Amino acid sequence: MPRKRLIWQIYPPFLVIILIALVTLTWLFSRTLDDFYREEKRSGLVAQGQLVVNQARDALMSGNISALESMSVALGKQSGTRLTVILPDGRVVGDSEEAPAKMDNHARRPEIREALRGHPGAATRYSKTLQQEMMYVALPVRSNGQIIGCVRTALPIARINKALETVLFHVINSGILIALIAALISLWVSRRISRPLVEMKRGAERFAGGELDRRLPVYKGEEMGGLAEAMNQMASQLNDRLQTVVSQRNEQEAVLASMVEGVLAVDHQEGILRINRAAATLLGTNLELAVGRSLQEVVRKPELQRFITESLQSPTSIEADMTLLYQGEERFLQTHGTPLRGSDGQTIGALIVIHDVTRLRRLENLRRDFVANVSHELRTPITAIKGAVETLLAGANENPEDSQRFLEIANRQSDRLNSIIEDLLSLSRLERDAESDEVGRTHERLLPILESALQSCSSIAKSREVDVNLFCSEEIVANVNSALLEQAVINLVDNAIKYSESRNFVTVESWQEGEQVMIKVQDRGQGISKEHLPRLFERFYRVDAARSRALGGTGLGLAIVKHIVQAHDGEVTVHSTPGEGSVFTICLPVS
């Protein structure tokens, strides 16, 4: 049901009260006026009748009936009333309007009967003689204490009603005018009362809409002015508290958004109360749509769901490690659940903190693999050297041919061991220099660097009958460390030559794309399977360990390339198709 405005709740009752009062007063006034006017006319008729009584007594006592008839006509014309003289038996002997002989006996008229009893009589009724409503007053005529007749005076009611209607018409017109004036005054008063409340309503709506800096006008009236001041004070306090709440909420949101740990708050019904961006990313859900939804809708990980359920049921903090699949990749998570308590200390849910320890686990795995690979790589040459020395000590040195063969084995494995150690030291230096930003770089032309690298690989290319082609413009310049970049290119070209078939060719190409310089090394060898590509730049990782060792590789060449490129703030990528060859691309910033 629509609500009415205050003015239409105040104004109509005011108007109704005024109209009722005016109608009541008009009705009472008209009734009082009617009674007063009729009583005045009745009194006038009595006074006129008293004047006629004395003259009628003399005529009745003398028996001069004809004189009564002429007297009635004369006095009736003078007074403007109807005069009638009646004998005690009801016979009319004089009338100002009609011949007495034609008139009925009036003994049964109520006013006549009352007068013949000795009291003034009055009546209002229809006159058959005059064919109109009349007011009658009859007075007894006494002589020596005896009633010898009565005198009746009469006036037409129409004359009285006409006079009353004229007065009533003026009264009604005055009442209507007063009602209109009162209605306008009531409307003005109603608007004067309702306008401050309407303004306060609008102000309250502005406050509800967040416009707490605007204030209401303070009215002169004590009640309205006090209410306006109270609402303004309320708005000021609300604004201060709202600013505090918003500031605290923004701080909390900033803290939660800046956390690398995922934070998830749930209630007892497993509905999500809060979630930060890190948790939404880990769970693969939308941050804005997650709040308010149930846990089962958002978290599709059964292991994590069980942990959250256990956290809700546990009175103390609990921890767990779990592995989840995220975008086709394993994620190692460390979760911590603790009861979530309200301001009154009651438990309202649980707070789940999720740490993504995938990188740490991978680093631990890399460390273990590195230690195992280093041990394995070092054990092979050491075992070969130790075996050759033991064989020589056992007497093989007495045979010049055996002695020479085992000495060559020891020398070759020593060189291999030295290469491994040198590569490890190179990696260590690269990591140290990159962390301390001590890799000196200058603007150099790339063509001389690439030509020098290819010159270093010319002997192995010639021995394996592999052609190496270079395509590079002399104008290409980059901010590089020429020695380190040359080493990286040598490692890539050396690998390309080693893994290419005889009578094949390797292409080295460089060009500039915007603010980046690209160096591509492409071979037409056997290629690399897709599953090996993600780990290709790890230390000691080999696609074909036996062939790599046979070709004299240490397993650190590509790792060195990766660290050199990273020291130049660049990146290296690989694309390979088995049976078609591989393409290694170095991307370096120009400046």
Average pLDDT, the chain: 78
The neighbouring-strand residues paired with 150 are 86, 140
Burial of 512 (0-12, 13-18, 19+ CB in 10 A): middle
pLDDT of 434 over the 60 cut: no
Span 266-277, average pLDDT: 82
Residue scoring higher pLDDT (564 or 509): 509
pLDDT of 469 over the 80 cut: yes
Burial of 264 (0-12, 13-18, 19+ CB in 10 A): buried
**Which residues have C-beta within 8 Å of that of residue 519, sequence separation ≥ 6?**
446, 450, 489, 508, 509, 510, 585, 586, 588
pLDDT for 437 equals 59
Indicate the pLDDT class of residue 237, thresholds 50, 70 and 90: confident
Amino acid 402 reads D
Residue 502 vs residues 453, 469, 470, 489: alpha-carbon distances, Å? 21, 15, 19, 21
Residue scoring higher pLDDT (108 or 375): 108
| Residue 304 structure tokens | 């994590």
Span 301-306, average pLDDT: 80
Q: Kindly state the greatest CA–CA separation across the chain.
A: 208
pLDDT of 68 over the 70 cut: yes
Q: CB–CB of 335/352 below 8 Å?
A: yes
Indicate the pLDDT class of residue 544, thresholds 50, 70 and 90: low
pLDDT of 229 over the 70 cut: yes
pLDDT of 190 over the 80 cut: no
Q: DSSP string spanning 234-270?
A: HHHHHHHHHHHHHHHHHHHHHHHHH-SSEEEEEETT-
Walk me through the domains of the chain, giving residue ranges and CATH numbers. 7-163 (3.30.450.20), 259-355 (3.30.450.20), 362-434 (1.10.287.130), 440-589 (3.30.565.10)
pLDDT of 147 over the 80 cut: yes
Question: Among 518, 525, 524, 516, which Cα is nearest to 471's?
Answer: 518
pLDDT of 537 over the 50 cut: yes
Indicate the pLDDT class of residue 546, thresholds 50, 70 and 90: very low
3 state SS of 516 = strand
Indicate the pLDDT class of residue 484, thresholds 50, 70 and 90: confident
pLDDT of 586 over the 80 cut: yes
Q: CB–CB of 112/152 below 8 Å?
A: yes
Residue 284 vs residues 162, 173, 324, 327: alpha-carbon distances, Å? 98, 84, 11, 9
Burial of 77 (0-12, 13-18, 19+ CB in 10 A): exposed
Helices (H), 93-139: 110-116
Residue scoring higher pLDDT (270 or 207): 270
pLDDT of 159 over the 80 cut: no
